[in-house]
Structure 1
Amino acid sequence: MQEVNGSIAILGSGETSPNLVSVHRNLINKIDGEVIASLIDTPFGFQENADQLVDKLIEFYDVSLNLEINLASFRNKKYFKSVEYFEFLKKIQSSNFIFSGPGSPSYATKNWIDTDVPEIFKERLCSGSSLIFASAAASTLGIRTIPVYEIYKVGIDPYWEKGINLLEVFDIDCVVVPHFNNKEGGNHDTSISYLGAKRMEILQEIQPTNILGIDEHTALIIDAKENLFEVEGLGQVTVINQNETQNFKNGEKYSLDDLRKLLENTETKSIKESADNDQNSQDEQIEDVLRKEIAELRLEIEKNNKNSENINNLINKLISYRIELRSSQKYEESDIVRDFLTESNIEIEDDKNSSSWKFKD
């Protein structure tokens, strides 16, 4: 097992509810130094209200956690290996806090699998970053994924989708099931992420697997560096394997080794599938390199533009302050401001009513 220094929170639902604000804060506080946060929109990228969901999540982090989180957008795999795709990768590679949440589990996995995304998630987690996955995004983390929309909404016979298997970095082999205690169905069973027990039995007949069930408004937090896990929120975490079922409740910390033992791979042969590793043609490799370079250049330009805007605002405020000093006949003080700007290679041009500036040639 590779060394893992980061932390992950897996939320059953309620990612922006007051019940789980402490979970976000907990993972933010685990980061040493400046927090560079990214919001990934893939799971809900197909929805018409995707932009509104992005705004809501950005506002949540701003208002509830005083954290600026930036959008890292990858809404459709048709942009795979485009400049925009490499720009997205660069953003998440540069982040030490990543959040992804609601939407469709199968839509997320279909757009993430056979891309660089799962490996970057693993690399970020191993390097000490904090990751939070909620609802649909949480469903993708295991070896397989439940296609909730297709089975519950459309009525397709139960089947498994492939998962991104992020939890393998902890040596954990399972399917993650958020909304584990859902009761929205009233007179019909909507537990186990809306599937109900009968449909889960069918899935287990197709391919037996360990289950990591997380109740609604509940979080499982794994701290790899401390080799611990804990439960926060209103519910509990349920672990099911072929031999037993165990429940873990809020308020205690447990050894991560206990979770590994319950969710170990008991199959004689791994069924993990690997994508074809055919060598790209030389032309394709060159195109990929160029797109990566363009993506990096775009991000650098964006950063420089933001810095330029900040510098412009600062200079304009200094000039406004100098004008106020001159209006008050505080010429000595105004000359200090002028001299400071001149030393910074900024030339001021005064007329009767205003002042303007430019950089010296």
Structure 2
Amino acid sequence: MHGALVLMGSGETSPTMVEIHRGVIGELGPKPRAVLLDTPYAFQENAADISNRARQYFARSVGVEVEVNGVVTGADWVFCGPGSPTYALDRWSGSSVPADLRARIRAARGVTVFASAAACTAGAATVPVYEIYKVGAEPHWREGLDLLAVIGLDAVVIPHYDNAEGGTHDTRFCYLGERRLSRMERELPAGTGVLGIDEHTALLIDLVDERVRVAGRGGVTVRTREGQSVLPAGSGATLDELRVLLRGEARLGEPAPVPRAAPQETLSELVEASERSFASALGSDDVSAATRALLRLEEDIAGWSADTEQDDGGPEQAREVLRRLIAALGTHTAGQALARLVPPLLAVREKLRCEGAYGQADLLREALVEGGVRVEDTPEGPRWSIDG
């Protein structure tokens, strides 16, 4: 049985990570026993829905049937993802889960995938991201599961390393920002480094061959008090080289360009592209092209519907954009129709006024107003606009 530990920065149930999942699961043989641990998000009211979406994602996109909260021991593949790192640690405390996870990593048997919140727990210490970022607690560490110690890595894991959701404020480093992370680093024991995993990126550790590689959109940053090195997507190293980097005993030079396929676009990028295409089409009065942009966006949203983490608002925010664009298309289409209809009606009204049939002219104007067309008489002639 293939032995691997996979740490993901985010996007674990999104289209960006499908090929990574397929690659590691493909080495497990037919019908592997796959277990999903829901612990990090079990406190949420929609926990069952998150689990169902994850199961559908792995069944449809990856080709594996997943059982929720099955027995870890003997499982071919174990997955744990979004939610609260500290909630998971509290629930696992006193249970057999931490020991079972360490045992499978020590034995180099099966694939263990920890992503997002779960990835936070994999190191010697854990970022209490909810408590610090959302509640305002003073920056501090919580003791982690330290799964990495089993393979000689003295590190903390920080997913969402390149997060940029904050816009005007620093949300890198799992929403800590540089100021808070720098302060927290000083509290780590000497020799403990940071493994920063970018969003939609994975660090794959082969436990048998003792090699690591980076896959996905971004990179993995090894950060110590002596400096930092970046392993870009497509690059690799030995496990021993990674140990040396984490101890601060060496640094990588400027990484050589790594040829790789164009990265899978995130949902937010797809939404932005659709908005640009839609606006360009409407600007050219090309309703067909605008409609095609909306249909592409709807397909993209469907493809991301299983995303359990929903970075940048996720599918729900994308649906809001889709509804807004549909309304804009309706308004534009109505405007095009009125542009063909209103001028002849105004010409009839002017003719009635010239003939002294003011009552009929006023009735025509009132009918236009009732239909949402505002008419303004000016010295240069009547002007019209769509009301509201």
TM-score when normalising by structure 2: 0.61
**In 1, distance between residues paired with 2:2 and 2:24?**
13
Which of 227, 252, 276 is the matching residue for 1:244?
227
Identity across matched positions, percent: 41
**In 2, distance between residues paired with 1:265 and 1:49?**
43
Change beyond 3 A, Cα 1:6–1:265: farther
Change beyond 3 A, Cα 1:169–1:32: farther
SS in 1 for 2:78: strand
* AA at the equivalent of 1:215: D
Superposed CA offset, 1:19-38 (max 9, x none): 11111112112324641000
Superposed CA offset, 1:191-222 (max 9, x none): 00001010112212333541000000000000
**In 1, distance between residues paired with 2:88 and 2:239?**
27
**In 2, distance between residues paired with 1:170 and 1:34?**
28
How far the C-alpha of 1:224 sits from its partner, in A, is 1.5
Matching of residue 14 in structure 1 with residue 11 in structure 2: yes
* AA at the equivalent of 1:250: A
Preserved CA contact (<8 Å) 1:106 1:161: yes
Preserved CA contact (<8 Å) 1:30 1:130: no
Matching of residue 140 in structure 1 with residue 121 in structure 2: yes
Which of 165, 170, 185 is the matching residue for 1:189?
170
**In 1, distance between residues paired with 2:36 and 2:116?**
14
Which of 209, 224, 227 is the matching residue for 2:207?
224
SS in 1 for 2:173: coil
Higher relative contact order (CA 8 A, sep 6+): 1
Which of 55, 58, 74 is the matching residue for 1:58?
55
* AA at the equivalent of 1:229: V
In structure 2, the partner of 1:117 is: 97
In structure 1, the partner of 2:151 is: 170
**In 2, distance between residues paired with 1:186 and 1:46?**
29
In structure 1, the partner of 2:87 is: 107
* AA at the equivalent of 2:116: S
In structure 1, the partner of 2:78 is: 98
- After the TM superposition, list the runs of 4 or more consecutive aligned residues in structure 1 that deviate by more than 4 angstroms: none
How far the C-alpha of 1:263 sits from its partner, in A, is 2.2
Please report the RMSD computed on the Cα atoms of aligned residues, expressed in angstroms: 1.8
**In 2, distance between residues paired with 1:201 and 1:127?**
34
Matching of residue 23 in structure 1 with residue 4 in structure 2: no
Superposed CA offset, 1:87-141 (max 9, x none): x5xx211311000000001111122233211110122222411011110000000
Superposed CA offset, 1:289-308 (max 9, x none): xxxxxxxxxxxxxxxxxxxx
In structure 2, the partner of 1:131 is: 112
SS in 2 for 1:206: coil
* AA at the equivalent of 2:153: I
Which of 154, 159, 183 is the matching residue for 1:202?
183
In structure 2, the partner of 1:70 is: 67
**In 1, distance between residues paired with 2:139 and 2:231?**
28
SS in 1 for 2:54: helix
Preserved CA contact (<8 Å) 1:170 1:260: no
Preserved CA contact (<8 Å) 2:2 2:111: no
Preserved CA contact (<8 Å) 1:231 1:250: yes
**In 1, distance between residues paired with 2:108 and 2:152?**
16
Aligned length: 246
Preserved CA contact (<8 Å) 1:172 1:265: no
TM-score when normalising by structure 1: 0.65
Preserved CA contact (<8 Å) 2:120 2:158: yes
How far the C-alpha of 1:252 sits from its partner, in A, is 2.3
**In 1, distance between residues paired with 2:98 and 2:247?**
20
**In 2, distance between residues paired with 1:224 and 1:206?**
30
**In 2, distance between residues paired with 1:101 and 1:188?**
26
**In 2, distance between residues paired with 1:252 and 1:216?**
16
